[in-house]
Amino acid sequence: MTSYRLPPLPGEEIDRAQPISFTWNGKPHSGFAGDTIVSALAAAGVRTFSRSLKYHRPRGVLTASFVDPNCTLQVDDEPNVRAAHRRLGPGMTVTSQNAWPTLEFDVKAANQLVGRFLTPGFYYKTFMSPRPLWPAYQKVLSRFAVGGRTTRDAPHGYYDQRFAHVDVVVAGAGPAGMGAALAAAEAGADVLLVEEEYDLGGHLRWGGADELAALAALRAEIRARPDIEVLPNSVVTGRYDHNWIAVLQRSGLRDSGVVERLVKIRAGVLVVAPGLIERPYVFEGNDLPGVMLGTAVRRLINLYGVRPGARAVVMTANPEGDAAVADLRRAGVEITRVVDARRGEDIRRAIGHGGVREVELGDGTRVEADLLTVSIGWTAPTSLLNMAGNSPVYDADAARFRPGAAMPPDVIAAGGIVGDGTTSDLVEHGREAGREAARRAAGGEPQAIQDLSGARHPEVFRADTHGFVDYSEDVSSKDVFGAVREGYESAELAKRFTTATMGPSQGKLELVNTISVIAEATGSLLADVGTTVWRPPYAPLSLGALAGRSSEPSRVSAMHRWHVEHGMVPLVAGQWIRPDSYGDPQAEARNVRERVGIIDVTPLGKLDLRGPDVSRLLECVYTNTWANLAVGSVRYGVMCAEDGVVFDDGVTGRLGEEQYFMSTTSSGAAAVWEWLENWLQTAHPEWQVHVTPVTTAYASINVAGPRSRDLMSRLVEDVDLSGDAFEYMRVRTGTVAGVEDCLMWRIGFTGELSYELHVPASYGLHVWEALMAAGAELGIAPFGVEAQRILRLEKGHFIVGQDTDGLTKAGSAGLGGLVRLDKDDFSGKPELVWAQGTDAPLLVALQPIDGTVVPVEASQIVVGDRRIVGRVTSSRMSPTLGRSICLAQLAPELADPGTTVTIVRPEGGTIDAVVMASLAQVDPDGVRLRA
Amino acid sequence: MISIPCPYCGPRNSGEFRHVGESRPRPDPQTTTPQEWRSYLYLRANPQGWTTESWYHAAGCRRFFQLERSTDTDEVRALADRNMT
């Protein structure tokens, strides 16, 4: 194998003492530490790295940087690796993508022959009809648009997140960025310096002796400053409002087990110093392997010691191209022709099959060459500035877009993105930006920094032949002309129609060429076509980095371990994980009706309310009356929002003259707390009420069933539990299983004699186990949420949000008696007054005539020609009645008891059901409850 | 994610807050008309430019407070009288 590796060079970043072995498409290769995957392969003479998206044309190195559209490879189980950026690692398995069966012989290259049919809009126009065939089309097309491969067993890796607060973030560590970081730090700011590549320095890295000397000095200064944190191989992916900045950190992490880290930063000032990206030239054959940008050639030679070819034609319009000529000569490459665009010289096409063989010049002469180096202009990556509200302006003299005038005070552009200059000009511009950034971050009034003017540069965009404007999307200048002919004259439309600039490099290489072709095709000035809008992310992010580690907490009660040990079937309810059942909810429900059961209801919202004005607050938030609630009593209440719609319900008890204890639904706990604070802080700040959330300060257990009093009496010493002394809807404080200060409420969601215990959370498990032990001879069994739902449905108790919806006002939920319109004011009162007499749906109980059928919840109820008159809101098999039972919302004219209605079953057919006299279908008179 | 200057806690990410919205007085429920009440419930001026609005620091001090925000630029500034009263 011929080696294209050059003798050692002064600025090279490879370590020739450290060879690294890897494989490329199954064959063993080796490179050096510091090589990119592509530089190591280029050193071995590899010229073709990929096949293009549509036409499967062979593609080689173009930019030799992260944005290289032709060097996206599969590395081990990671697809779409930017291999001209990613450093070589030992043992890597590198393969090409989008080629079949092999990179050298790709059958889909036949697409080139039908290229004229694959023009923009081809897919839209051809495969849209007939519509039903789309799934079949999609299967075939997706095989043609394949990227890399992922496997299900690929290790997931650990993706981290970090939050940072820094004074100054500097995006880009070229001469200006390094200058900005140093000056900002010297002025007292904390600085984060973010560099997309592995090493600091930008274009100084592949420069001559002077640049290398300047670079070494700058690097040493930065290393010496602990107040500058450097993130190499990291990129600022977005700038959002108030300088909320996202940085993707790609490396320096793998040893710590972190694949990538997303850093979210609130920054004082963002200095944008990304430098410039070299722009490709549009001509026939501009995608042949062997056509490279000047910066690519200079990187390959100076950083990696790779000779990029043997015989070169160089087209140059600027000092970068001139420097490429010098570098190529130094690397022993024969320069067969220098085409100087500043003198009006041009090339016409690159000729070759699988790679450049000849170059046809503007005058028609043909020159033999295997390398065509092109340096015809620059693109300023203004994406971050655009995200900050700045619109770039085209400067015809400099032949590139430059930042516009309107810049928010917390963003400063510096260096090459602004203008041109010598190394020291760029460093000094960065220093000025850094000083100003530190001053503004410390609260100083913004002052303008000096402008850096753009050097004169000829406008060179396209030869007199057509070539690719977008390599990743296989869009040619001819396609853009075609789009304009079809009427897509604005950049935003032509971009979407052709998909130019919409590929993986997101326009960094392609945008300016695309709009220059649009300008040419429409006969307008490039400045008038304008750019398209840049949105985050600036660079691609992996989904892993976005997902990061989960920071969603989950909540469990003090009895959780017991539930797990006793076979709980978990239910995830918001943040809570609680037992849905212990295996057989029907049996659990029967046991409550016949003997006694206990359920963990810790997630119930609990609020401790104290102060002289609590009852006034309760009058405001509940629809019923509270002023007359006696100490020792509890009351059920419904809360409405100001639109009269039911939003929560629960029981509140009065423990003392100025002390109340409120329970809310489990899901509504946070909202009710906020609602109370809202009334206290905004409507009645003069009221003296203290609200303390105690949801997790107490473990809550409901003891339910005919034997619950018997069970309680075995564990409670200091409270008289007899029916006369501790009546239904009363609250007592006492000692349970030796635990003092337990709250006991006699209430019954299940419809049984029951006690709800709120015990200090740390004793929750103790009391639970004591109940289980003491209840053994009474036939105790735990029950879960599902059994509770069955029991409450038998009793006709509704659940907010299940049996009510976003339109259910308090009067229509079967709660007319709980709405006291004679109160002066309460939340939602005006709407409830106006809702009187309207025909809102009513909540009713239904029994399907065939009691073996349990209609699916949300089934529609219809009359006649399938007019919808209601829907089933809850539906279960009742173990007590041995038949199915439902709650439903129903039009009032059909809500009379005994009316037969028709339920449509989503699985097909209908079933008739009868409206019941009472919402409660078990014990409608409440005998069991009040036992 | 914008930064909200909580008058009690200092600047915090807006994710810690609930945006209550444009501040507007609650009509007297005794005398209000459906038109007035429903415009209180549902209608917002939604100006382009500066607006006074309420925020609730749900993951912080749990206080309601008001500030001014420009709907154009998301620039925020504290109110002299920051409380809702």
Q: Would an 8 Å CB–CB cutoff place B25 in contact with chain A?
A: no
Q: How high is the pLDDT of residue A53?
A: 83
User: Per-residue b/e over A288-301, b at no fewer than 16 CB within 10 Å?
Assistant: bbbbbbbbbbbbbb
Rounded CA-CA distance A61/A299 in Å is 11
In chain B, what residues touch A677 (CB-CB under 8 Å)? 56, 62, 64
Q: How high is the pLDDT of residue B85?
A: 44
Are B30 and A824 in contact (CB < 8 Å)? yes
Predicted confidence (pLDDT) at residue A467 exceeds the cutoff of 50: yes
Are B64 and A240 in contact (CB < 8 Å)? no
In chain B, what residues touch A242 (CB-CB under 8 Å)? 1-3, 74
Residue A555 C-alpha, separation from nearest chain B C-alpha, in angstroms: 17
Residue A609 C-alpha, separation from nearest chain B C-alpha, in angstroms: 16
Residue A407 C-alpha, separation from nearest chain B C-alpha, in angstroms: 12
Rounded CA-CA distance B3/A242 in Å is 6
Q: How high is the pLDDT of residue A502?
A: 87
Rounded CA-CA distance A524/A728 in Å is 85
Question: Does B85 reside within a domain?
Answer: no
Find, in chain B, the residue whose alpha carbon is nearest to that of A831: B34
CB atoms inside a 10 Å sphere around CB A464: 11
In chain A, what residues touch B29 (CB-CB under 8 Å)? 824-825, 829-830
Which one of B4, B39, B52, B62 makes the best mutation probe of the A interface by having the most chain A beta carbons within 10 Å? B62
Are B58 and A670 in contact (CB < 8 Å)? yes
Closest CA relative to residue A4, chosen from A217, A301, A204, A420? A301
Are A681 and B64 in contact (CB < 8 Å)? yes
pLDDT digits over A783-803, tens only? 999 999 999 999 999 999 999
Look up the CATH number of the domain holding residue B15.
3.30.2270.10
What separation in angstroms does the CA of B32 have from each of A682, A729, B28, B35?
19, 36, 6, 8
Are A674 and B58 in contact (CB < 8 Å)? yes
Predicted confidence (pLDDT) at residue A563 exceeds the cutoff of 70: yes
Residue B82 C-alpha, separation from nearest chain A C-alpha, in angstroms: 11
Closest CA relative to residue A726, chosen from A740, A749, A743? A743
pLDDT digits over A276-324, tens only? 999 999 999 999 999 999 999 999 999 999 999 999 999 999 999 999 9
Q: How high is the pLDDT of residue A659?
A: 97
Are A674 and B29 in contact (CB < 8 Å)? no
Q: Which has the minimum average pLDDT: A77-81, A178-182, A604-608, A767-771? A: A77-81
Find, in chain A, the residue whose alpha carbon is nearest to that of B26: A683
Rounded CA-CA distance A11/A7 in Å is 12
Residues of chain A with a CB closer than 8 angstroms to some CB in chain B? 240-242, 244, 266, 642-643, 670, 674, 677-678, 681-683, 685, 824-825, 829-831, 834
Q: Binning pLDDT at 50, 70 and 90, where does residue A171 land?
A: very high
- Closest CB to B3: pick one of A266, A683, A824: A266
Q: Would an 8 Å CB–CB cutoff place B52 in contact with chain A?
A: no
pLDDT digits over A185-219, tens only? 999 999 999 999 999 999 999 999 999 999 999 99
Category of A487 on φ-ψ map: left (φ > 0), alpha (ψ -120 to 50) or beta = left
The residue segments making up the domain with residue B11 are: 3-24+39-78
In chain A, what residues touch B3 (CB-CB under 8 Å)? 242, 244, 266
Q: Would an 8 Å CB–CB cutoff place B84 in contact with chain A?
A: yes
Rounded CA-CA distance B19/B54 in Å is 7
The mean pLDDT of A359-383, rounded to a whole number, is 96
> Who's near A634: CB < 8 A, 6+ residues apart?
A651, A652, A653, A654, A729, A730, A731, A745, A746, A747
Token pair recorded at residue A237: 């992916």
Hey, what amino acid is at A657? E
In chain B, what residues touch A834 (CB-CB under 8 Å)? 34
Q: Binning pLDDT at 50, 70 and 90, where does residue B83 land?
A: low
Which one of A161, A163, A241 makes the best mutation probe of the B interface by having the most chain B beta carbons within 10 Å? A241
Q: Is A370 exposed, middle or buried (0-12, 13-18, 19+ CB in 10 A)?
A: buried
Note if the bond before A603 is cis, omega within 30 degrees. Answer: no
Closest CA relative to residue A356, chosen from A333, A373, A338, A372? A372
pLDDT digits over A836-845, tens only? 888 889 999 9
Question: Does B34 reside within a domain?
Answer: no
Predicted confidence (pLDDT) at residue A263 exceeds the cutoff of 70: yes
Residue B84 C-alpha, separation from nearest chain A C-alpha, in angstroms: 5
Find, in chain A, the residue whose alpha carbon is nearest to that of B84: A682
The mean pLDDT of A27-33, rounded to a whole number, is 96
In chain B, what residues touch A241 (CB-CB under 8 Å)? 1-2, 74
Which one of B17, B24, B56 makes the best mutation probe of the A interface by having the most chain A beta carbons within 10 Å? B56
Question: Does B60 reside within a domain?
Answer: yes
CB atoms inside a 10 Å sphere around CB B33: 11
Domains in chain B, number: 1
Question: Does B67 reside within a domain?
Answer: yes
The mean pLDDT of B45-68, rounded to a whole number, is 94
Question: Does B52 reside within a domain?
Answer: yes
Q: How high is the pLDDT of residue A139?
A: 64
Token pair recorded at residue A775: 């209840």
Q: Binning pLDDT at 50, 70 and 90, where does residue A156 land?
A: confident
Please state the pTM of the whole predicted model.
Answer: 0.87
Residue A284 C-alpha, separation from nearest chain B C-alpha, in angstroms: 46
> Who's near A213: CB < 8 A, 6+ residues apart?
none
Q: Would an 8 Å CB–CB cutoff place B80 in contact with chain A?
A: no
Predicted confidence (pLDDT) at residue A419 exceeds the cutoff of 70: yes
Residue for token digits 């212990």? A582
What separation in angstroms does the CA of A649 have from each of A399, A604, A641, A680, A836?
68, 11, 12, 19, 21
Q: Which residues pair with A867 in a beta bridge?
A: A863
Q: How high is the pLDDT of residue A100?
A: 63
Diameter of chain B measured on Cα atoms = 41
**Parallel, antiparallel or unpaired: strands A411-413 and A258-272:** parallel
Rounded CA-CA distance A328/A324 in Å is 6
Are B56 and A240 in contact (CB < 8 Å)? no
| DSSP code string of A629-693 | PPTTBEEEEEEE-TTSBEEEEEEEEEEETTEEEEEE-TTTHHHHHHHHHHIIIII-TTS--EEEE
Q: How high is the pLDDT of residue B84?
A: 52
Are A825 and B26 in contact (CB < 8 Å)? no
In chain A, what residues touch B18 (CB-CB under 8 Å)? 674
Over pLDDT 90: what percentage of chain A? 81
Q: Which residues pair with A600 in a beta bridge?
A: A701
The mean pLDDT of A638-652, rounded to a whole number, is 95
In three-state secondary structure terms, A82 is strand
Which one of B3, B17, B28, B42 makes the best mutation probe of the A interface by having the most chain A beta carbons within 10 Å? B3
More confident residue, A705 or A549: A705
Are A830 and B34 in contact (CB < 8 Å)? yes
pLDDT digits over A741-762, tens only? 999 999 989 999 999 999 999 9
- Closest CB to B3: pick one of A242, A674, A830: A242
Looking at every residue in chain A, the average pLDDT score rounds to 92
